[in-house]
Amino acid sequence: MTAVMAPTRAEVCVVACAEAWRGDGEILASPIGLVPTIAARLARATFAPDLLLSDGEAMLVQGTWALGAPPPVIEGWIPYRAVFDLLYGGRRHVMMGPSQIDRYGNANISAIGDFARPTVQLLGVRGAPGNTVHHPTSYWVPRHSRRSFVAAVDMVSGVGYDRAAAAGPEVTRFHEVRRVVSNLGVFDFDTPDHRMRLISTHPGVSVEEVRAATAFEIDAPDEVPTTRLPTDAELRLIREVIDPRQARAREVPG
Amino acid sequence: MADKRMTEADVVAELRSGMTIGIGGWGSRRKPMSLVRAILRSDLRDLTIVGYGGPDVGLLLAAGKVRRLVYGFVSLDSIALEPHFRAARQAGAVDVTEYDEGMLQLALYAAACRLPFLPTRVGLGSDVMRINPDLRTVASPYGGEELLAVPALHLDAALVHLNRADMHGNAQFLGPDPYFDDLFCQAAAAAYVSCERIVPTPELTAAAPVQTLRIQRWMVRGVVEAPHGAHFTSCDPDYGRDEDFQREYAKAAAEPELWTAFQERYLAGDEPAYQAAVAARTTAVPA
């Protein structure tokens, strides 16, 4: 057997994102963006075989397939209206890509600056308000910096823990921000008041580097573990099956 | 049975400045672009435009037709951000009601059901509540929860583009997703369907299962035959999105000088002139 080349940072990130769906069972995994898309396919191809995945349009599909290629087997029809119905019932875990996120997991995909006249208009809140109050949500941030990990987001699109608690039981009932993955590390909110916590740094990244790139104080244990490396089987799936053209390297260099 | 065939100009003649107009499709997918282009050529103004926005919204903003925008997002899909929408927002040039995508569906569904509101969790806890201060909550009469009451959003008119229709207004989607076109029609006082081809009614079910007949004639006031009417958005399976043209649009939309040239080349004439300019473009560009 030939030796497998060491994992890149992008590949570590793919596996860290895939881990967000571990244990989710038979629910719809909705990855938004490139690295989460590779990650969701990898998760289903390995440790989360019951996940449902869509083709990004309106079909539920089986199998493991390459970015940009047609999926092998259609197993269901899920137009947008069916996604809404499904998400209200909670059988979904989305991974979105916010431009800003704060220490309680409030996330902004709508607009930067004053909403009345933003300095940078983004997409709009899309489904983030509804997603975050109905089913687990995770986030992927490819460029971890003080501009993306901010003290306060300009427009709360995805609801974080402090805002959910302030809004009341109808919001906290199904609310869960599961995990945040950046190009530097992995974070969760498993602290007494649900502040963001560093749970691992990617190989070659120090805790100081994460702190310096974060505009809020971040909880971290005394000993922060290193993000787990992809297995050889995972690397083969990423490199040969899901992303043979290495689109991931454009999103996460190095 | 009524023959509801119309032209784009007939539809625009029934619209008025200040109306609330819902536009079907989703992002840069199956948008009634020939009807939008007809509005660009009209003297309509001060419109409230409702939809899951794409280049329809961008073009109407650029032409100064929009007073208020009600949307869950505005995107070109393969190009994430709509340049005209960005420019209008960043200039503070348009009033907006930004909703979650699901809230918009509920608002239209409430209107279609003639209900004053529908309750939901969607929006609670988010800044959608802050930027829309007229939103109200409602206590569950069964106890326990206080939910957002999404107000009904009544449309004066709805514009949608389908693959096939008959002259009576029965219309069919043949692509992967009906989007919310039927809901837009049902929430509207008058709905107008453009389509790739008007066919005799029996052909509708000869070619595809009856479940694709999402739009029924009772929802529809007018039917417009508009081949390539969704261009440059997608209209699968008749045609996909014209990605090359969309790139040209987005590039031009981000630069005022390029935009002037784009308008002169594609938008100065009527719909046949637009389609001819698009056809000339594809034949003129060497492979």
Low-confidence ranges of chain A (pLDDT < 50): none
Question: Phi, psi at residue A51, to the nearest 5°?
Answer: -55, 145
**Residue A190: predicted pLDDT:** 97
Residue A216: name the closest of A144, A143, A152, A160 by CA.
A152
What is the b/e burial string over A60-89, where b = at least 16 CB atoms within 10 angstroms of the residue's CB?
Answer: bbeebbbeeeebeeeeeebbbbbbbebbbe
CA B226-B228-B230 angle, to 5 degrees, is: 90
Q: How far apart are CA A145 and CA A162, in angstroms?
A: 22
Are B122 and A125 an interchain contact pair (Cβ–Cβ within 8 Å)? no
Question: Phi, psi at residue B248, to the nearest 5°?
Answer: -60, -45
**Residue A4: predicted pLDDT:** 78
> Which residues of chain A are within 8 Å of residue B75 when distances are taken between CB atoms?
123-124
Asked whether residue B31 carries a pLDDT value surpassing 70, the answer given is yes
Are A57 and B176 an interchain contact pair (Cβ–Cβ within 8 Å)? yes
B109 interfaces chain A, CB cutoff of 8 Å: no
3-state helix, strand and coil shares in percent for chain A, rounded to the nearest 5: 30, 20, 50
**Residue B287: predicted pLDDT:** 46
Are B176 and A117 an interchain contact pair (Cβ–Cβ within 8 Å)? no
> Which residues of chain B are within 8 Å of residue A132 when distances are taken between CB atoms?
125-126
Instruction: List, for residues A95-122, the tens digit of each pLDDT value.
Output: 999 999 999 999 999 999 999 999 999 9
Query: Over A154-204, what HEC string results?
Result: CCCCECCHHHHHHHCHHHHCCCCEEEEEECCEEEECCCCCCCCEEEEECCC
Q: How far is B270 from chain A (nearest CA, A)?
A: 31
Distances (CA, A) of B42 to A128, B12, B14, B34, B36: 36, 7, 12, 13, 10
Instruction: List, for residues B186-210, the tens digit of each pLDDT value.
Output: 999 999 999 999 999 999 999 899 9
Instruction: List, for residues B46-61, the tens digit of each pLDDT value.
Output: 999 999 999 999 999 9
The secondary structure of A125-144 as a DSSP string is -TTHHHHHHHS-EEEEESS-
**Residue B89: predicted pLDDT:** 98
- In chain A, which residue's Cα lies nearest the Cα of B51? A126
Instruction: List, for residues B34-91, the tens digit of each pLDDT value.
Output: 999 999 999 999 999 999 999 999 999 999 999 999 999 999 999 999 999 999 999 9
Helix axes B55-62, B83-90, angle to 10 degrees: 50
The secondary structure of chain B as a DSSP string is ----EE-HHHHHHH--TT-EEEE-SBTTBS--HHHHHHHHTS---SEEEEEEESHHHHHHHHTT-EEEEEEEEE--SSSSS-HHHHHHHHTT-SEEEE--HHHHHHHHHHHHTT-SEEEESTTTTSTHHHH-TT-EEEE-TTSS-EEEEEEP--EEEEEEEEEEE-TTS-EE--SS--TTHHHHHHTEEEEEEEEEEE--HHHHHHHS-GGG--B-GGG-SEEEE-TTTTTTSBBTTTB---HHHHHHHHHHHTSHHHHHHHIIIIISS-HHHHHHHHHHHHHHS--
Contact B223, B191 (CB under 8 A): no
Q: How large is the ipTM?
A: 0.96
Peptide bond into B141 cis (omega under 30): no
Are B85 and A121 an interchain contact pair (Cβ–Cβ within 8 Å)? yes
| DSSP, res A3 | P
B209 interfaces chain A, CB cutoff of 8 Å: no
pLDDT band at B32 (very low <50, low <70, confident <90, very high): very high
Q: How far is B97 from chain A (nearest CA, A)?
A: 10
The distance from CA A81 to its chain's CA centroid, rounded to whole angstroms, is: 23
Are B121 and A126 an interchain contact pair (Cβ–Cβ within 8 Å)? no
B76: tokens are 């070109």
Instruction: List, for residues A156-189, the tens digit of each pLDDT value.
Output: 999 999 999 999 999 999 999 999 999 999 999 9
**Residue B127: predicted pLDDT:** 98
What domains appear along chain B, each with residue ranges and CATH number? 5-115+152-284 (3.40.1080.10)
Mean pLDDT of chain B: 97
Q: For B227-242, what is the mean pLDDT?
A: 98
Q: Which residues contact B120 (CB under 8 A, 6 or more apart)?
A: A88, A130, B102, B103, B106, B147, B148, B150
Residue A24: name the closest of A80, A113, A77, A91 by CA.
A91
B73 interfaces chain A, CB cutoff of 8 Å: yes
| DSSP, res A23 | T
Q: How far apart are CA B42 and CA B12, in angstroms?
A: 7
* Region A9-247: CATH code: 3.40.1080.10
